[in-house]
Amino acid sequence: MRLIQRFATGLCLSLFVWHAIADDTPAYITPVSVAELGEQGFDGVILDVRTPEEFAQAHIPNALNVPHPLLTNHLATLGKTDTPLLIYCRSGRRARIAMDQLHDLGFRKLYHLSGDMQAWQAYSKP
């Protein structure tokens, strides 16, 4: 019985910690689902922060490719700080770095494609 209680306690604690870690998206980032993007489009700049090689293999139509390490060199191409920016990469890590960087530079209308390119490719396959 004691083993079951310890297991249950450990499981609850693990779920609590996982939820706290998984939900660490800052309030200044608005998630956008692939279905929303596919059906409604996006009124702003769609920014792909992957490498040019990854971009050449596949990308969202009308996306602008600026690899995240070069972001500060291309601020003029993004528009003013009130321009809505939908940012994605392959899995989310580079997009998050870019969004944090852009927020620090004064951009406030930041959107993240939920699931990034992996989700877009799964959504757009017939």
| H or E stretch covering 65 | strand 64-65
Give the tens place of pLDDT for each residue, 5-54: 544 444 333 333 333 334 455 676 788 888 888 888 888 999 999 999 99
- For the chain, domains (ranges, CATH) are 26-124 (3.40.250.10)
Banded pLDDT at 111 (limits 50, 70, 90):
very high
Q: Residue 41 and residue 27: Cα distance in Å, rounded? A: 22
pTM of the model: 0.75
- As a whole number, the mean pLDDT across the chain is 82
Exactly one of 89, 113, 117, 119 is catalytic; which is it? 89
Q: Residue 35 and residue 37: Cα distance in Å, rounded? A: 5
Known catalytic residue at 12: no
